[in-house]
Amino acid sequence: MASMARIWSFLFVVSIIGSSFATESENEEAPSKEFVLTLDSSNFHDTVGKHDFIVVEFYAPWCGHCKKLAPEYEKAASLLSSNDPPVILAKVDANEEKNKGLASEFDISGFPTIKILRNGGKDIQDYKGPRDAEGIVAFLKKQSGPASREIKSVEDVTALVDDKKIVVVGVFPEFSGEKFENFTALAEKLRSDYEFGHTLDAKLLPRGESSAVGPTIRLFKPFDELVVDFEDFDVDASEKFVEEASIPVVTLFNKDPDNHPFVIKFFNSPNAKAMLFLNFSSENVDAFKSKYRDVAGQYKGKGISFLMGDVEASQGAFQYFGLKEKQVPLIVIQTSDGQKYLKPNLGPDQISLWVKEYEEGNVLPYKKSEAVPTVNDEPVKIVVADNFQDIVINSGKNVLLEFYAPWCGHCKKLAPILDEVAASFQNDADVVIAKIDATANDIPSDVFDVKGYPTLYFRSASGNLLQYDGDRTKDDMIEFIQKNRDKTAHQDTGKDEL
């Protein structure tokens, strides 16, 4: 279930911030001298172990976004090769069979995924920076330097603190002692998410109490209260403070790219996620903002995070959830286990009551589903969320089910093979070959662990569930079905099973 939550978060963030993610590119990469190291299972750990700092991209050859990233990543590797010291960029084809163990080791649930490995691979962090060459270079130069920069002048402050990002500054009477060491450990742990600085002089800082001599952790942010102080230097406590203080009471999603880092943080949160979608140019938008912020304030620290999205910028979200613009204004709550709750066409004064009803368990879950086909007579049956129980769970038949995505190259390659398998069982009343678009329909994620596409499961007539991980050939799939199916009245039991 946790893995499904991760892939949901990954796919959803991609869908709203980069709606073209699900489109495969046919363009080939231009040949050039390679500065990016190519790693695989045979040389990965030896190579990583020799470096204090190395960046690794896990990619799939069919992934359109990987192809788009490739020239930017290569250009960044070229530029960083002349850095002092050089910054090494590497890549792993995580789709190759021999590298599947690496993909599992690093919990790769989508492509491309970039990891920053420090201290010979002992410390692992997700890369959360830009995807263009210049942005990659700037981000990694900061990541490869000290985790926290000393602030000694107004110029240092200007270079670090601005009104568009979160910055964490430690104020100390001296750069020594347990509290300073803990702050340094905090900066090292969270450096891929935030920028850190430390100073002996609070008067240099643009906001907050200038007479503070510390030790104090001061967090600057571009929303809500603009500065927050914290004085508990326990690493776990200060990490919790930074994480909680860096999430807005209401995260704003529109076309402003400065908001995107906070949107990503919103979806990476383990909290339930409340999302209000409305037209930001409508006459009553201010009333919605006011009421929604009041509700968000009431539930702050109670396991629900709140986001407000402009319809114009949220088309990816509408497609992902199967929503319609005629339902706007609407609110969706998504829980960590994948359940969704929906209230369409609500007014500002209904927000508080509906969220309260959800909290009390009085709102029924919402299920995204394509329309049930009126005709479903092809050899490979079409499954949607609304007929999933009838075809897969309650049919009393042996069902091989493919979970696919329309944009997935491997799914397209499998399609004619699946057709052939289905044709082989077309006269067998006890076997069903079926497929479901897992991007357009909700699936029982507590039963079917779909981490990528295609994923195939076999459910026998008696309810035994197996994931198919064999070769994707007609003969192998037929043999698997025959071996694992239940014997029924329609099956010739006079022959040994394969």
Candidates 408, 431, 477, 481; catalytic one: 408
Q: What angle do CA 462, 467, 472 make, to 5 degrees?
A: 120
Q: Which amino acid is at 328?
A: V
Tell me how far CA of residue 483 lies from CA of 67, 102, 402, 417, 487, in angstroms.
40, 31, 18, 19, 10
Candidates 39, 66, 69, 392; catalytic one: 66
SS3 245: helix
In the DSSP assignment, the letter for residue 366 is B
Tell me how far CA of residue 4 lies from CA of 322, 367, 392, 455, in angstroms.
18, 16, 20, 13
Tell me how far CA of residue 341 lies from CA of 44, 76, 331, 357, in angstroms.
44, 43, 8, 11
Task: Using DSSP bridges, classify how beta strands 330-334 and 340-343 pair: parallel, antiparallel or unpaired.
Answer: antiparallel
Contacts of 256 (CB under 8 A, 6+ apart): none
Of 313, 298, 307, residue with least CA distance to 223:
307
Q: Which amino acid is at 334?
A: Q
Residue pair 388/450 in contact by the 8 Å Cβ criterion = no
Using CA atoms, how far apart are residues 47 and 277, in angstroms rounded to an integer? Answer: 47
Q: How far is CA 15 from the centre of its chain?
A: 10
Contacts of 300 (CB under 8 A, 6+ apart): 249
Strand partners, 398: 431
Q: What angle do CA 299, 302, 308 make, to 5 degrees?
A: 45
Sheet containing 431-437: order of strands? 380-383, 431-437, 398-404, 455-459, 465-468
Number of other CB atoms surrounding residue 378 within 10 Å: 12
Candidates 14, 17, 22, 63; catalytic one: 63
Number of other CB atoms surrounding residue 141 within 10 Å: 13
Candidates 17, 116, 137, 411; catalytic one: 411
Supply φ then ψ for residue 97, to 5 degrees. -55, -40
Provide the sign of the torsion angle of the four alpha carbons 398, 403, 404, 405, taken in this order: positive
| 411 a catalytic residue | yes
Residues with catalytic roles:
63, 66, 408, 411
